[in-house]
């Protein structure tokens, strides 16, 4: 194992080395001890170090051949979403409905499409966005930049802000939600996140109302952690689920918004800042709100004065 892989998690290393092999099978190889580093069993979060000897069991060629090349239309669509690029980072304004990476039932995502550009020697996701969330998605173009971003997200040296349209009329001003979250499996690959102060991971969000409508409120949400479905579950805890959220919202609440043209979840990551770190300068990326969301706002009945 060389310097390029130094610091990379073994699960991410295997997923890159075994294209087309189902993600679930890669993790099964790790759990069963078939993947060895320096002769010993390892967990998925084990980070590689220069000089490590990795044993990967034989994997059938038929599995490798299952890798799906994203269509040219997807490659071109993502090229048009670039909002920032420098020597270390690439950032896109990810469209809703596009996954960050391939997974169960999802043959390709953003990272597979960008790799298919054949433009970068190294390109990795620095973080992830839910499939149904649009906005800033950051990718690293070298290992030091990836580790810098991972440190920033882990230790809170970031500022992450979203726009979320919430169901119902907001009372008062800013409200914080500090509630631990835990992810529970439902069936297969599906999961649901719940508040659980005993077993959950610390999670904090700040909701700030920006525009008030008759039956909904546009909030800017700053998150101080990066848990799965964090904004969606914290909004639900406030009694104001995210508009268009089919997992945590109510069908009856979303129906009037669908009639106004909302065909997706109204959650958009519009601002990301990484603080300076060593030789890395401060990084700020902004992603404009998509027209499809602006159009919905323009149709919403406003509160009469």
| Tokens matching residue 287 | 């992603």
Is 277 marked active-site? no
Please state the φ and ψ torsions of residue 281, each to the nearest 5 degrees. Answer: -80, 170
Contacts of 212 (CB under 8 A, 6+ apart): 169, 170, 218, 302, 303
Radius of gyration of the chain (CA): 21
Q: How far apart are CA 163 and CA 93, in angstroms?
A: 14
Alpha helices in the chain (DSSP H): 10-17, 23-31, 61-64, 72-79, 110-115, 143-155, 230-237, 251-259, 291-299
With CA atoms as reference, report the closest residue to 66 among 13, 102, 114: 102
Q: How far apart are CA 11 and CA 64, in angstroms?
A: 16
Contact 270/135 with Cβ under 8 angstroms? Answer: yes
* Angle of CA points 51, 57, 59, to nearest 5°: 125
With CA atoms as reference, report the closest residue to 129 among 269, 297, 283: 269
Q: Which of 11, 63, 130, 281 is catalytic?
A: 130
The residues facing 177 across adjacent strands are: 205
Active site residues: 130
């Amino acid at each position: 194992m060389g310097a390029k892989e130094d610091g990379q998690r073994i699960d991410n290393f295997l997923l890159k080395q075994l294209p087309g092999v189902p993600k679930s099978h890669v993790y099964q190889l790790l759990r069963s001890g078939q993947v060895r580093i320096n002769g010993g069993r390892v967990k998925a979060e084990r980070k590689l170090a220069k000089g490590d000897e990795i044993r990967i069991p034989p994997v059938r060629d038929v599995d490798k051949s299952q890798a799906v090349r994203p269509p040219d239309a997807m490659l071109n669509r993502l090229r048009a979403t670039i909002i920032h690029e420098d020597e270390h980072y690439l950032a896109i304004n990810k469209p809703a409905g596009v996954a960050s990476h391939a997974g169960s039932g999802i043959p390709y995502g953003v990272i597979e499409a960008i790799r298919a550009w054949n433009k970068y020697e190294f390109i990795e996701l620095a973080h992830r966005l839910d499939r149904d969330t649009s906005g800033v998605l950051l990718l690293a173009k070298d290992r030091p930049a990836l580790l810098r971003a991972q440190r920033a997200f882990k230790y809170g040296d970031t500022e992450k802000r979203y726009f979320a349209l919430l169901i119902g009329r907001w009372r008062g001003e800013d409200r914080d939600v500090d509630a631990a979250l835990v992810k529970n499996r439902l069936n297969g690959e599906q999961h649901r996140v719940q508040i659980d102060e005993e077993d959950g991971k610390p999670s904090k969000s700040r909701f700030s109302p920006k525009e008030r409508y008759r039956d909904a409120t546009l909030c800017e949400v700053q998150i101080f952690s990066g848990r799965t479905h964090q904004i969606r579950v914290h909004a639900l805890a406030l009694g104001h689920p995210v508009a268009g959220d089919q997992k945590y919202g109510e069908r009856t609440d979303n129906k009037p918004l669908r009639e106004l043209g909302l065909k997706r979840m109204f959650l958009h990551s519009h601002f990301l800042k990484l603080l300076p770190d060593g030789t890395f300068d401060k990084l700020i990326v902004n992603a404009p709100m998509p027209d499809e969301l602006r159009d919905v706002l323009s149709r919403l009945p406003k509160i009469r004065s």
